[in-house]
Amino acid sequence: MTVLVVGSGGREHALALALALDPEVVGVHVAPGNPGTWQLSERYGIPIDSSLGLALTAMDPLDGEAVVGMAQELGASLVVIGPEAPLVAGVADRVRDAGIACFGPSAEAAQLEGSKQFAKQVMAAAGVPTARSRYCLTIEQVEDALDEFGAPYVVKNDHLAGGKGVVVTSDRDEALAHAAACGETVIEEYLDGPEVSLFAVCDGKRGLPLLPAQDFKRAGESDTGPNTGGMGAYTPLPWAPEGLVEQIMEQVIDPTLAQMRHRGTPFQGLLYAGLALTSAGLRVVEFNARFGDPETEAILPLLSSGLGQVLYAAATGTLDGIPDLEWEDSSSVVVIYAADGYPGDPRTGGRIALAPIQDASPHTQVFHCGTALDDDGDLIAHGGRVLAVAAQGDSLAAARDAAYAAVASIDFPTGFYRHDIAQRAAESAIPTPHL
Min CB(294)–ligand AMP separation in Å: 13
Of 9, 35, 61, 274, which one interacts with ligand AMP (CB under 6 A)?
A: 274
Residue 188: which of ligand GLY, ligand AMP, none does it interact with, CB under 5 to 8 A by kind? ligand AMP
Residue 191: which of ligand GLY, ligand AMP, none does it interact with, CB under 5 to 8 A by kind? ligand AMP
* Helix axis angle, 307-315 to 10-20, nearest 10°: 110
Phi, psi of 255 (to 5 degrees): -65, -30
C-beta of 35 vs 163, nearer to ligand GLY: 163
C-beta of 225 vs 350, nearer to ligand AMP: 225
Q: Does 232 bind ligand AMP (CB under 6 A)?
A: no
Widest CA span in the chain: 60
Min CB(167)–ligand AMP separation in Å: 8
Q: Does 286 bind ligand AMP (CB under 6 A)?
A: yes
DSSP codes of every residue in 286-311: EEESS--TTHHHHHGGGB-S-HHHHH
Q: Does 154 bind ligand AMP (CB under 6 A)?
A: yes
Of 84, 158, 188, 293, which one interacts with ligand AMP (CB under 6 A)?
A: 188
* Helix axis angle, 139-149 to 172-182, nearest 10°: 140
Binding segment for ligand AMP (CB under 6 A), chosen from 8-16, 26-34, 187-195, 245-253, is 187-195
CB 268 within 8 A of CB 314: yes
Please, is 23 exposed, middle or buried when counting C-beta atoms within 10 Å of its C-beta (0-12, 13-18, 19+)? exposed
Min CB(176)–ligand AMP separation in Å: 17
Q: Does 44 bind ligand AMP (CB under 6 A)?
A: no
Strand 207-209: give its sheet, edge to edge.
207-209, 195-203, 268-278, 281-288
Min CB(233)–ligand AMP separation in Å: 12
User: What single DSSP character describes residue 431?
Assistant: P
Binding segment for ligand AMP (CB under 6 A), chosen from 77-85, 185-193, 205-213, 397-405, is 185-193
SS3 92: helix
Of 118, 190, 327, 416, which one interacts with ligand AMP (CB under 6 A)?
A: 190
Which residues make up the interface to ligand GLY (CB under 6 A)?
163, 215, 229-230, 288, 292-293, 295
Q: Does 299 bind ligand AMP (CB under 6 A)?
A: no
Please, is 167 exposed, middle or buried when counting C-beta atoms within 10 Å of its C-beta (0-12, 13-18, 19+)? buried
Q: Does 166 bind ligand AMP (CB under 6 A)?
A: yes
C-beta of 108 vs 215, nearer to ligand GLY: 215
The rounded distance, in Å, linking the Cα atoms of 107 and 402 is: 40
C-beta of 142 vs 168, nearer to ligand AMP: 168
The answer, yes or no, to whether the previous bond of 32 is cis (omega within 30 of 0) is yes
SS3 338: strand
**Distances from the Cα of 292 to the Cα of 72, 98, 241, 273, 418, angstroms:** 27, 27, 22, 10, 19
Q: Does 169 bind ligand AMP (CB under 6 A)?
A: no
Q: Does 248 bind ligand AMP (CB under 6 A)?
A: no
C-beta of 149 vs 404, nearer to ligand AMP: 149
Min CB(131)–ligand AMP separation in Å: 4
C-beta of 93 vs 215, nearer to ligand GLY: 215
The rounded distance, in Å, linking the Cα atoms of 314 and 312 is: 5
Q: Does 88 bind ligand AMP (CB under 6 A)?
A: no
User: What single DSSP character describes residue 430?
Assistant: S
**Distances from the Cα of 226 to the Cα of 216, 295, 381, 415, angstroms:** 11, 19, 21, 17
Closest CA to 189 of 284, 292, 289, 287: 284
C-beta of 292 vs 383, nearer to ligand GLY: 292
Min CB(361)–ligand AMP separation in Å: 31
Of 131, 387, 388, 391, which one interacts with ligand AMP (CB under 6 A)?
A: 131
Interface residues toward ligand AMP, by CB under 6 A: 131, 154, 156, 166, 168, 188, 190-191, 195, 217, 227, 274, 285-286
